């Protein structure tokens, strides 16, 4: 389970607000050339699963719940990374999905 494997959902959970949270486990450093590529692919994979309603087959408890994508980062994002994450947030917000990220040490 990791950001560089887009074919697997790393974690699925229900938040205290009764939302379905799909979490991406991101262990890559922000200066790695392929980091953005891997992260974008993983996010797109999650969006496709949501858009195609596959999420309900994979996790039936998601039916009727708000869905959000969360990224659990190992490393603090750079300024460039924060701009990227803000763009992701805007795109997901326009699709009516939630988005968050946090640094996990």
pLDDT digits (tens, 9 = 90+) for 21-80: 999 999 999 987 789 999 999 999 999 999 999 999 999 999 999 999 999 999 999 999
pLDDT of residue 25: 93
pLDDT of residue 6: 85
Tokens of 44: 């797109």
β-sheet with 67-73: strand ranges across = 11-14, 20-26, 67-73, 98-103
Give Cα separations from 88 to 44, 58, 96 (angstroms).
10, 24, 12
Instruction: State pTM to two decimals.
Output: 0.92
pLDDT of residue 62: 94
pLDDT digits (tens, 9 = 90+) for 28-39: 999 877 899 999
* Mean pLDDT, range 94-99, rounded to an integer: 96
The band of 1, judged by pLDDT with boundaries at 50, 70 and 90, is low
Closest CA relative to residue 97, chosen from 42, 47, 36, 40: 47
pLDDT digits (tens, 9 = 90+) for 3-13: 888 889 999 99
Asked whether 7 and 38 are in contact (CB, 8 A), the reply is no
Closest CA relative to residue 41, chosen from 62, 29, 26: 26
From the number of C-beta atoms within 10 Å of its C-beta (0-12, 13-18, 19+), residue 56 rates as middle
């Amino acid at each position: 389970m990791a950001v560089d494997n887009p074919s697997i959902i790393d974690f699925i959970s229900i938040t205290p607000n009764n939302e379905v949270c799909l979490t991406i486990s991101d262990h890559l450093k922000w200066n790695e050339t392929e980091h953005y590529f891997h992260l974008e692919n993983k996010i797109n994979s999650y969006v496709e699963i949501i858009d195609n309603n596959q999420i309900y087959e994979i996790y039936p408890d998601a039916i009727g719940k708000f869905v959000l994508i969360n990224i659990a980062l190992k490393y603090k994002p750079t300024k460039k990374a924060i701009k990227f994450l803000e763009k992701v947030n805007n795109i997901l917000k326009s699709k009516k999905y939630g988005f968050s990220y946090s640094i996990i040490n």
